[in-house]
Amino acid sequence: MASAAAVLQSEWTKIRTVSSTTWTLISVFLATVVIGGVISAVSNSTFGDLSDVSQTTFDPTLTSFSGMVLGQLAMVVFGVLVVGSEYSSGMIRTSLAAVPRRATFLFSKIGVAGLLALVVGLITGFVAFFIGQALLGDHSTTIGEPGVLRAVIGSGLYMCLIALFSMGITVMLRSSMLSLGILMPFFFLVSNILAAVPKAKDVAHYFPDQAGQKLLQVVPDAANGGGGSYGPWGGFGIMCAWVVAALIGGYLVLRNRDA
Amino acid sequence: MIEVEGLTKRYGRKLAVDHLSFQVRPGVVTGFLGPNGAGKSTTMRMMLDLDNPTSGSVRINGQGYHDLPDPLKHIGALLEAKAMHGGRTAYNNLLCLAQSNRIPRRRVDEVLDMVGLTAVAKKKSKGFSLGMGQRLGIASALLGNPEILMFDEPVNGLDPEGIHWIRNLMKALAAEGRTIFVSSHLMSEMALTADHLIVIGQGRLLANTSMADFIHQNSRSYARLRSPQPEQLRDVLRDAGYAVTEAGGGALEIDGAETERLGELAAEHRIVLHELSAQRASLEEAFMQMTAESVEYHAHTGGEEPGGQLPPGGGWGPEQAPQQAQQPAWGQGWNQGGRDGRRDKEI
């Protein structure tokens, strides 16, 4: 059996030697920070136009994470390409011939990519938070306020889980194109639209992204926050369950199907 | 040593590999021959544990592939050219593989040098030609310095220089005592490289024999005659008890006959001969005959022979075989008559 440490090292080399890693992760950072900053600045200048209810439930932390709507899509691309490039190039057969233990292969790859996504997600979250708060001026909050640190760390966890979920789906579908074609519209449109439709939203609140975003929310009834009857960690748990299901599904496909 | 035991692969209702059992021994090049779609690649993928067999087993030096500690140190395989990430450099592609099997980094430089890719080591492999991709694949097979090497159609798409290089490489590796298992659909290619032959058709084992025995058993010898008096010659030969076959261009062919006796016979009857030569049918023909019933994709163009799907370069007539033309070798020269001779009517 190939040693897990050796396989981890190999997967790290794989990740750092392709340019898609760099550009997807830079996109995650820029999209989240820049858009979050712009929306924070706009919110600050138009704060007076908001209704009273919106003003009292204004969530400055969540506002500074507004850019994640797009940033998470770049994270989806990262997750999909890390796995999908094995399939599109035929590299998967070379890789599995070198590491025939499929669990070792898959979880080393996912572990390395997930850890990288977590680090980038945390850096992105903290930078987006501080820049957003600086631009929110009088309406900003501080990292010391109750629940704020949890939300900022939560944004990193959320990004990591999005990447892991995308990887699991891609192992199941064994194609970058197919995975992107399903995941991108789902996270960008379907999930958000359904979450706003009266009946559908009771279901949509249990979608991975809708549930996970609860972790980024500090004010429980924030106008731009999600619904659902669970708290931040409840939402995190729901998202984790989705990720675990996707990864188990991916593992079963990889184990049982011919490469 | 590779031991294949009762290996079977079924895709739905189609049996791709049907109870294959054979052994691949060290120190020789073993050719794995079969027409397109015979199940060669499927068998090789099952040997590497990439595809799950429906039943049967493969043992690599007595162990299952799954249980090899660092598999690349035991068995190296070239399955398809360009089974690498195109956005990664040749060096980094090999480095990933080396690290996963705890192979030292300097070995990457060594194998790149062995296959002649040192100059492009830092280039992304998506810009590689088919031949360079094939060399990179061979470098990855050699990475762990394994005792067993497996090549799936290694000469496909290579230029003559590359073909020559691979042939010599395989022979040299076998001479070092390694086990070399190489697949091909070209008998002519196998005749030049392999010492032992395993032939399959539609997933079934058709032959498992040494190359020398295969040649001995399967090369038909016959005499070829041409004369300006063909009718007379034919009658004379028939009266003498020979089964005469008419070949193209007014030539006659007689299986197994000795040219001395035929020459004397013609002289006795004062028949002028323009040609009297001993011929042997090519191995390619023997191979096609053997696999005729099992060829999956027949070409149905005007009286094409079985096995007609072989691509140009199939080494079947000199006019079609550039690689033979460049490398005069056995198989050449005496197969001119054979091609037409096969479908001739008995007279």
What pLDDT is attached to residue B300? 60
pLDDT for position B344 = 38
Tokens at B186, concatenated:
């070209």
Q: Kindly tell me the sign of the dihedral angle through the C-alpha atoms of B160, B161, B166, B169.
A: positive
The pLDDT assigned to A156 comes to 97
Q: Tell me the two tokens of residue B287.
A: 């191979």
- What pLDDT band is residue B304 in, cutting at 50, 70 and 90? very low
DSSP-assigned beta bridge partners for residue B33:
B184, B199
**What amino acid is encoded at B139 in this protein?**
A
Give just the sign of the alpha carbon dihedral B127, B130, B135, B138.
positive
pLDDT tens, position by position, B36-57? 889 999 999 999 999 999 999 9
What is the pLDDT of chain B when averaged over all its residues? Answer: 83
Please work out, in degrees rounded to the nearest 5, the angle formed at the alpha carbon of residue A156 by the alpha carbons of A25 and A87. Answer: 45
CA dihedral B168, B158, B118, B69 (to 10 degrees): -70
Identify the pLDDT of residue A223. Answer: 59
Strand partners, B198: B32, B208
**Nearest alpha-carbon partner for A67 in A128, A120, A156:** A128
Task: Find, in chain A, the residue whose alpha carbon is nearest to that of B138.
Answer: A94
What backbone phi and psi angles, to 5 degrees, belong to B165? -60, -45
The neighbouring-strand residues paired with B77 are: B150
CA-based nearest distance A259→chain B, Å: 5
Q: Is B196 on the interface with A (CB under 8 A)?
A: no
For residue B313, the model assigns a pLDDT of: 38
Q: How close B122 comes to chain A (CA, Å)?
A: 11
A99 close contact with B: CB closer than 8 A: yes
Taking only residues 31 to 50 of chain A, the set having a beta carbon closer than 8 angstroms to any beta carbon of chain B reads none
**Chain A residues within an 8 Å CB radius of B50:** 93, 96-97, 258-259
Domain ranges of chain B: 2-216, 221-280
Give the separation between CA B78 and CA B138, rounded to whole angstroms.
6
Question: What was the pLDDT predicted at A224?
Answer: 61
The pLDDT > 90 percentage for chain A reads 79
pLDDT at position B317: 38
In this structure, of A51-55, B231-235, B321-325, the range with the lowest mean pLDDT score is B321-325
What is the band of A227 on the pLDDT scale with cuts at 50, 70, 90?
Answer: low
d(CA B286, CA B204): 17
pLDDT at residue B331 above 60? Answer: no
d(CA B170, CA A169): 41
Q: How confident is the model at residue B320 (pLDDT cuts 50, 70, 90)?
A: very low
Please indicate if any CB of chain A lies within 8 Å of the CB of B73.
Answer: no
Residue listed under structure tokens 């399955």? B79
CA-based radius of gyration for chain A:
19
| pLDDT at residue B325 in the model | 37
Optimal mutation site among B65, B73, B85, B108, interface A, most CBs of chain A within 10 A: B85
B95 or B301, higher pLDDT: B95
pLDDT number for residue B295: 65
B319-324 average pLDDT score? 38
Query: Are the beta carbons of A229 and A210 closer than 8 angstroms?
Result: no
Residue B4: beta bridge partners? B22, B58
Q: Does B85 touch chain A (CB under 8 A)?
A: yes
DSSP string, A54-118: HHHT--HHHHHTTTHHHHHHHHHHHHHHHHHHHHHHSHHHHHHHH---HHHHHHHHHHHHHHHHH
The reply to whether B221-280 shares the fold of B2-216 is: no
Mean pLDDT of B238-242: 88
Q: pLDDT tens digits, residue range A18-49?
A: 999 999 999 999 999 999 999 999 999 999 88
Size of interface A-B (CB pairs under 8 A): 100
Amino acid at the residue B176? E
At residue B52, the pLDDT reads: 93
- Mean pLDDT is lowest, of A193-207, B185-199, B321-335, for B321-335
Interface predicted TM-score (ipTM): 0.90
pLDDT classification of A203: cutoffs 50, 70, 90: confident
pLDDT band at B258 (very low <50, low <70, confident <90, very high): confident
Closest-CA residue to A125 (of A84, A66, A183, A177): A66
Amino acid at B76: G
* pLDDT confidence tier of residue A147, bands split at 50, 70 and 90: very high
- Provide CB contacts within 8 A for B108, sequence distance 6+: B91, B94, B95, B98, B143
Average pLDDT over residues A208-226: 82
The verdict on a CB contact (< 8 Å) between B51 and A20 is: no
Residue with tokens 């998202």: A239
Contact partners, residue A138, CB within 8 Å, separation at least 6: A44
Contact by Cβ (8 Å): A66, A36: yes
State the DSSP string of B42-102.
HHHHHHTTSS--SEEEEEETTB-GGG-SSGGGTEEEE-STT-S-TTSBHHHHHHHHHHHTT
Shortest distance, CA A234 to any CA of chain B (angstroms): 38
The tokens describing A91, both together, are 């590299």
A200 versus A111: the higher-pLDDT residue is A111
Nearest partner of B321 among B160, B109, B88, judged by Cα: B160
Percent of chain A clearing pLDDT 70 (strictly above)? 97
Chain A, nearest residue to B67 by Cα? A1
Q: Which architecture does CATH list for B221-280?
A: 2-Layer Sandwich (3.30)
The single residue listed with the structure tokens 């500090």 is: A218
pLDDT of residue A25: 97
Confidence of residue B341 (pLDDT cuts 50, 70, 90): very low
Residues sharing a CB contact under 8 Å with residue A16, sequence separation 6 or more, in sequence order:
none
Q: What is the DSSP string of B117-180?
A: -GGGTTSBGGG--HHHHHHHHHHHHHTT--SEEEEESTTTT--HHHHHHHHHHHHHHHHTT-EE
What tens digit of pLDDT does each residue of B162-175 get?
899 999 999 999 99
Structure tokens at B26: 């060290």
- Asked if the Cβ–Cβ distance from B92 to A3 is below 8 Å, we say no
Identify the band that residue B219 occupies on the pLDDT scale cut at 50, 70 and 90: confident
Give the integer Cα–Cα distance in Å for A158 and A168.
15
| Choice between B301 and A110, residue whose per-residue pLDDT is larger | A110
Mean pLDDT of B272-293: 81
Cβ within 8 Å, pair B87-A101: no
pLDDT for residue A226: 63
Taking every pair of Cα atoms in chain A, the longest distance, rounded to a whole number of angstroms, is 64
Kindly give the residue spans of alpha helices, DSSP state H, lying in chain A.
4-16, 19-45, 52-56, 60-64, 68-89, 91-98, 102-136, 148-173, 176-185, 191-194, 201-204, 208-212, 232-256
Pairing of strands B75-78, B148-152: parallel
What topology does CATH give the domain B2-216? Answer: Rossmann fold (3.40.50)
Flag whether pLDDT at B335 surpasses 70: no
A149-153, A187-191, B174-178: lowest mean pLDDT where? Answer: A187-191
pLDDT at A71 over 80: yes
